[in-house]
């Protein structure tokens, strides 16, 4: 039990703080929503109603899509683009999908390799791209959820303000949709970009996200 | 290259995503607006039949108070009698989003909000003022 906790510490820690943050968002979002209802002379709603509302769904999904996009881009960009001195980058002479030998697939696989890495054909192709494809799929689903929930939430505001609601097709080209989307994207791109650059010159002892403290600034692709 | 998230959180995230998508889709499926349209039609029926007390009871509580305040006689009923609420004609469309609804008739547009007692009118006798501007309403509205 203790060993299982230790061996899965990273995923458990992030899983737990994710749930706590989501709970906090739900409770504060509910309180904020009801403040606005009262201000508009409308009735307050229960927490259950809030959790199934488009208001909550759009706030959650707009953040999710941008996080998954961030990782999706990072996964694919780092195949081809390198950054001298960054532990987040591959070695400068390794851009591209690399050889079967380096990737331990087919005849170069070993006893511990996953089955689909050992076989050839479509299964190996699928498995070779499964991380990127899954992240991409979650990104697209979250973004779709944002657009559906966002259009419903936007139309609620429109009606509360005695304005005409818009269709989903109108909503996805509206300033509201793109503003919600881009304000999340810019922060993700900044965070990734600064991590790539700062990790060239700065260190965090013991973290695999950093180079070893004594590594030279131009050491690329080493982790501590 | 490493990413700081683990498989466990990904699995949790996937479950939550499914729950979220389910919530979004079920919310859309349930929102056909029939009850909101019925409330808008009942309001118009009461106004046409000069049953102003019944019509006032279909106004959202703040709208009812506001309507009474704007009347010389100080009652919602007297203000409804004075208001130029058109004969709506045929029901054209209803759009419901969460607890808000927009009902269009041939000659009128009605705004509604859901309350514990059912759908209540927040604006009736409303006419558009161009694409982005709020409607002007005979009863309720801005």
- For the stretch A70-118, pLDDT in tens is 999 999 999 999 999 999 899 999 899 999 999 999 999 999 999 999 9
Tens of pLDDT along A174-198? 999 999 999 999 999 999 999 999 9
How far apart, in whole angstroms, are the C-alpha atoms of residue A196 and residue A219?
13
Q: Does B30 contact chain A (CB < 8 Å)? A: no
Q: What is the pLDDT of residue A221?
A: 78
- Sheet strands side by side (includes B91-97): B91-97, B100-105, B109-115, B118-127, B136-140
Task: Find the residue in B nearest to A41 (Cα).
Answer: B62
The length of chain A, given as a count of residues: 224
Q: What is the pLDDT of residue B18?
A: 63
How far apart, in whole angstroms, are the C-alpha atoms of residue B18 and residue A100?
35
Q: Which residue is associated with the tokens 């118009």?
A: B44
- The reply to whether residue A90 touches residue B5, judged by beta carbons under 8 angstroms, is no
Q: What is the pLDDT of residue A138?
A: 97
Q: What is the pLDDT of residue B13?
A: 58
Pairs of CB atoms within 8 A across A/B: 135
Residue B27 has pLDDT above 60, yes or no: no
Percent of chain A residues past pLDDT 90, beyond the cut: 93
**What is the ipTM, given to two decimal places?**
0.83
Q: Does A16 contact chain B (CB < 8 Å)? A: no
What is the pLDDT averaged over residues B77-102? 95
Q: What is the pLDDT of residue B139?
A: 96
How far apart, in whole angstroms, are the C-alpha atoms of residue A191 and residue A214?
24
When the pLDDT of each residue in chain A is averaged and rounded to a whole number, the result is 95
Contact B67, B138 (CB under 8 A): no
Residues 6+ apart with CB under 8 A from A196: A83, A86, A88, A89
Instruction: Indicate the domain borders of chain B.
Output: 1-30, 33-140
Residues 109-168 of A with CB under 8 A from B: 138, 141-142, 145, 148-149, 152-153, 155-156, 158-165
What is the pLDDT averaged over residues B119-136? 94
Confidence class for position A65, pLDDT limits 50, 70, 90: very high
What is the pLDDT averaged over residues B94-116? 96
Percent of chain B residues past pLDDT 90, beyond the cut: 70
Nearest Cβ partner of A41 from B3, B5, B62? B62
Of the ranges A21-30, A56-65, A123-132, A215-224, which one carries the lowest mean pLDDT score? A215-224
Which of A21, A164, A176 would best serve as a mutation to test chain B binding (most B beta carbons within 10 A)? A164
With respect to CATH, is domain B33-140 assigned 2.60.120? Answer: no
Residue A41 has pLDDT above 90, yes or no: no
Smallest CA–CA distance, residue B46 to chain A, in Å, is 22
Rounded to whole angstroms, what are the CA distances from A182 to A136, A224, B57?
17, 34, 45
Q: Does A92 contact chain B (CB < 8 Å)? A: no
Of the ranges A94-103, A164-173, B9-18, B83-92, which one carries the lowest mean pLDDT score? B9-18
Grouping H, G, I as helix, E, B as strand and the rest as coil, residue B113 is: strand
Smallest CA–CA distance, residue B49 to chain A, in Å, is 26
> Sign of dihedral through CA atoms B43, B47, B50, B52?
positive
Residue B2 has pLDDT above 60, yes or no: no
**What's the token pair of residue B65?**
């108070």
Residue B5 has pLDDT above 50, yes or no: no
How far apart, in whole angstroms, are the C-alpha atoms of residue B98 and residue B30?
9
| Nearest residue to A19 (alpha-carbon basis) of B128, B52, B15, B106 | B15
Q: What is the pLDDT of residue B4?
A: 43
Smallest CA–CA distance, residue B5 to chain A, in Å, is 7
φ and ψ at A29, to 5 degrees? -65, -40
């Amino acid at each position: 039990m203790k060993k299982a906790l230790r061996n899965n510490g990273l995923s458990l820690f992030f899983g737990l703080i994710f749930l706590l943050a989501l709970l906090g968002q739900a409770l504060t979002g509910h309180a904020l929503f009801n403040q606005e209802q009262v201000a508009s002379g409308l009735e307050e709603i229960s927490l259950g109603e809030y959790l199934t509302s488009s208001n909550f769904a759009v706030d959650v999904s707009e953040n999710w899509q941008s996080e998954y996009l961030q990782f999706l881009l990072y996964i694919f960009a780092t195949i081809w683009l390198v950054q001298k001195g960054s532990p987040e980058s591959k070695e400068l002479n390794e851009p591209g999908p690399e050889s079967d030998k380096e990737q331990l697939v087919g005849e170069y696989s070993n006893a511990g390799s996953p089955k689909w890495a050992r076989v050839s054909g479509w299964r190996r192709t699928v498995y070779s791209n499964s991380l990127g494809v899954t992240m991409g799929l979650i990104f697209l689903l979250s973004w779709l959820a944002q657009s559906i929930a966002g259009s419903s939430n936007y139309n609620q505001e429109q009606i509360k303000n005695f304005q005409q609601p818009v269709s989903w097709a109108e909503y996805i080209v509206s300033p509201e949709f793109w503003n919600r989307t881009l304000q999340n994207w810019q922060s993700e791109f900044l965070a990734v970009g600064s991590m790539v650059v700062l990790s060239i010159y700065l260190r965090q002892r013991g973290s695999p996200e950093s180079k070893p403290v004594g590594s030279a600034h131009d050491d690329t692709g080493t982790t501590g | 290259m490493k990413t700081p998230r683990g498989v466990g959180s990904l699995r949790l995230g996937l479950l939550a995503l499914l729950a979220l998508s389910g919530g979004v889709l079920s919310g859309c499926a349930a929102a056909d607006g029939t009850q909101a349209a019925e409330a808008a039609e009942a309001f118009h029926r009461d106004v046409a039949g000069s049953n102003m007390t019944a019509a006032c009871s279909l106004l959202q509580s703040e709208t009812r108070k506001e309507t009474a305040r704007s009347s010389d006689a100080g009652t919602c009923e007297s203000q409804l009698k004075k208001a130029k609420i058109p004969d709506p004609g045929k029901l054209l469309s209803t759009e419901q989003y969460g607890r808000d609804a927009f009902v269009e008739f041939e000659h009128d547009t009605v705004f509604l909000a859901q309350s514990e007692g059912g759908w209540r009118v927040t604006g009736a006798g409303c006419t558009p003022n161009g694409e982005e501007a709020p409607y002007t309403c005979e009863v309720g509205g801005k």
